[in-house]
Amino acid sequence: MIRAVTGFSTLSEVLRTHARTKRVVAFDMFNTLVRRQVEGEWLKRAAAFRVHELLVPWVHRWFLPTPESVFERRREIERQVVAERIERGEDNEADFAEVARRWVATWVPIDNEALVAACVESELRLEELALSATPGSIEAVRALKVAGARLIVVSDMYLSSHQLQRLLDSCGFAELFDEVYTSTDVGKRKATGRIFPWLLETEAIAASDLLFVGDDLEADQVQPGRHGIDTVHVVDEPETSRRTRLKALERLASSNHVWNVPLIDELIERLPDRASQQVDGDVDYELGQTLAPGLVAFVLDTVDLARRRGAKRIFFLAREGLTFLRIYGRLLEQGLLGPRAPEARYLYVSRASTILPAMRGLAWDDLQRFWRQYPNQTLLTLLKNLSLPTDPFVGLAASVGLTQPRRRLGPPEDDLEFRRFLESRDVHAAFAAARDAAKDTLRDYLTYRGFWGQDKVVIADIGWKGTMQDNLARAFESERGMPELFGAYLALASEGERYPRSYKHGFLADFRRSDAEELDLFRNTATYEMVTQAAHGSTVGYRRRPENPAAVLPELKEYEIERENAQRYFRRAREGIDAWTRDFTRVAPFSPFTGEQLRAGALARALDYIRYPTRQQAEAFLRYSHVESFGVHQVSRFGFDVRLAELVARSPRKTWSELQRRFEHTMWREGVVKRSGLPLGSLLWDLYVTLQRAR
């Protein structure tokens, strides 16, 4: 007899009717009593990652295997163990105790008992994290227990019976089962049918006294039925659909990393109490969810970079670095950064606070470092960008004939008054004093934060050229105590400047890789800056504590519009980032991807938003604004700035040229195209950009 039921709510009714005539009710375990969040083979990959971490203190880095090779070695050993058991006349089951012993001995052949035990414990812990009771199963089993039935579990599994009992206990089945049988202990499997005669003999019952409940048609229904055992087939169609999707994603992810993020999303979606929620119409929250995988992957990769380079500390740079530091803290708290993770600290630096210490003199060549990007300078804006006080420099400028501090300055070869200012000995003396004082204070701040005196450090920032890294390297390149710098950037659009012992690495995108997909990220980088930027204001300098001169603190400048944006829009985006990160930490133990393995999927998600925004996303971008606190000192807005009155006064040809010019200077052209309402506009614009790049 095979009865099919659609879940444990229906099963309870069937069991109440048919279990009365049975002395023993036997349950399959996996996909019947309990569910895994991932499939068993995928969980073995996660276990290989954990074993790799366990091997780190034991194996020299030259001989340390990769997680993938650790996984392949397990599969090889399982095949060996199975072959040996078949040769002994047993069924094809790989006893994990033996597998673990040989697995560890591959790299640590002697004195490895503690490591083998840790390997087994790691496997069990992963199973506990991945398993949960099937809805309704505990109640159904408990009702049978109260009714006085003898309840047993029979599982085709490579773990021992007492280990399965531990897993059942962790899922809420403690003291509900009288016995647990597993194929690895018995040497016979349900799938072959050989375990059922042994089971009847061991339990000292006839086939008519046993009812078997399980989900697998062959192992749990057909095979026991051949021995005259009545069965109940548990058919959970929603769970079957979930597992089908999960298996497909796991197969895709194992062959192409672009599917790793969709796999993570599938696992998160099935969390019973996940932090991230579907909030229809909340485009700011959705934006945070869109960007989160790239930010989390970047932090993971930055930690890996620090390990590879031998850096003991990571310094996340203000202000975007505060978001990265929060992500780092959550990953560290959940044990996802591996053994001996590098320490992370926050560093208040900015272009404004580092450019003056980095200047070698007040010469035109030095000024060109930022003048090329910000050519519209007056004396007052020049002094502000260089963090120089107006007194005495405005007075010194007037003494050489530069009496209009608000007029636009030209190149020294064309602007005689400006050239005299740059050539003035008094100006150079005042500049050198101000620069040296700023340099001393910055050095003391770096010392106070534990940066100075390190051998190597990683500095992590959002991008896009690594200007602050260049300033630090330029300011202190010849000084003892200045560490070797490894810059980790979410994306690197330009190499910037080259200095000894200073290196840069772009994560999601790096112009040096010349990858067309990566380069498309630079179509809209403003979104990343705005969403991740901390609301504490920009660093404009440093001050010493009067009561403790060794303690150097940053001086910050806040803007009202930044506070408004942070509260109205970016707060929700950051909540989206935090929620996705929290959920990621829950599913990451059994899908332990590296940052590099998440990169392709994270990039694909970001590019989908950048290339093909919805109308709602494109319109939401108009609300945002960004304060440029260096160079031009203005508020950048992201609309297509066109005034009809200005265009009407022009000829059609000039009007078209002006529209082209303004469109080219728009921060996010894809958003403008989407807002235009042009049919297939986003697709046509993307095709145009692709063809232009191909030329």
- What are the tens digits of pLDDT across the range 459-511? 999 989 999 999 999 999 989 999 999 999 999 998 888 999 999 999 999 99
- What's 155's domain CATH number? 3.40.50.1000
Looking at 203, 238, 273, which one is the last position of a domain?
238
| Two structure tokens written together for 405 | 């501090």
Examine the domain organization and report whether 62 and 183 are in the same domain. no
Instruction: Report pLDDT for 293.
Output: 96
Q: What is the DSSP string of 642-655?
A: --HHHHHTS-HHHH
| Two structure tokens written together for 363 | 């010469």
Is 386 a domain residue?
yes
Taking CA atoms, 160 is separated from 71, 155, 164, 200, in Å, by 21, 10, 6, 20
Is 683 a domain residue?
yes
Examine the domain organization and report whether 109 and 231 are in the same domain. no
Taking CA atoms, 453 is separated from 443, 450, 457, 548, in Å, by 10, 7, 10, 20
Examine the domain organization and report whether 65 and 150 are in the same domain. no
The dihedrals phi and psi of 273, each to the nearest 5 degrees, come to -135, 50
Strands (E), 157-296: 179-182, 210-214, 230-234
The Cα 134–Cα 143 span in angstroms is 15
Dihedral of CA atoms 589, 591, 592, 596 in degrees, nearest 10, equals -150
| Two structure tokens written together for 156 | 């085709």
List average pLDDT for each run of 10 residues in the chain, which is 695 residues long: 66 75 93 92 93 91 91 96 95 95 94 94 94 91 90 96 97 95 96 96 95 93 94 88 92 93 92 78 88 96 95 95 96 89 95 91 85 84 88 91 91 90 92 94 95 96 92 92 96 90 95 89 85 85 87 86 73 91 93 94 92 80 61 53 56 64 66 69 75 70
Examine the domain organization and report whether 16 and 149 are in the same domain. yes
- DSSP letter at 590 equals G
Taking CA atoms, 290 is separated from 79, 305, 342, 606, in Å, by 42, 24, 27, 6
Is 592 a domain residue?
no
The Cα 553–Cα 448 span in angstroms is 9
What is the total count of domains within the chain? 4
Examine the domain organization and report whether 160 and 96 are in the same domain. no
Is 276 a domain residue?
no
For residue 315, the cross-strand partners are: 345, 459
Examine the domain organization and report whether 18 and 158 are in the same domain. yes
Instruction: Report pLDDT for 534.
Output: 84
The Cα 275–Cα 281 span in angstroms is 18
Taking CA atoms, 337 is separated from 186, 289, 384, 623, in Å, by 39, 22, 41, 37
Is 628 a domain residue?
no
- For 34-50, letters b (16+ CB in 10 Å) and e give bbbbbbeebbbbbbbbb
- DSSP letter at 258 equals G
Is 605 a domain residue?
no
Instruction: Report pLDDT for 228.
Output: 94
Torsion-angle region of 422 (φ positive above 0: left; ψ -120 to 50: alpha; else: beta): alpha
Looking at 63, 96, 129, which one is the last position of a domain?
129
Taking CA atoms, 617 is separated from 281, 476, 623, 685, in Å, by 10, 44, 11, 17
Looking at 427, 442, 457, which one is the last position of a domain?
442
The Cα 240–Cα 238 span in angstroms is 5
Taking CA atoms, 588 is separated from 40, 133, 266, 325, 444, in Å, by 15, 20, 12, 18, 40
Q: What amino acid occupies position 515?
A: D
Examine the domain organization and report whether 71 and 193 are in the same domain. no
- Structural domain boundaries enclosing 396: 361-442
The closest alpha carbon to 209, from 220, 221, 195, 199, belongs to 199
Is 321 a domain residue?
no
Examine the domain organization and report whether 46 and 179 are in the same domain. no
- DSSP letter at 513 equals G
Contacts of 458 (CB under 8 A, 6+ apart): 302, 305, 306, 309, 311, 313, 314, 315, 342, 486, 487, 488
Examine the domain organization and report whether 21 and 143 are in the same domain. yes
Contacts of 536 (CB under 8 A, 6+ apart): 318, 319, 322, 556, 558
The Cα 64–Cα 170 span in angstroms is 33
Is 138 a domain residue?
yes
Examine the domain organization and report whether 169 and 89 are in the same domain. no
- Residue that has been written with the tokens 């089971």 in this structure: 199
Examine the domain organization and report whether 86 and 102 are in the same domain. yes
State the pTM of this model: 0.88
Examine the domain organization and report whether 178 and 56 are in the same domain. no
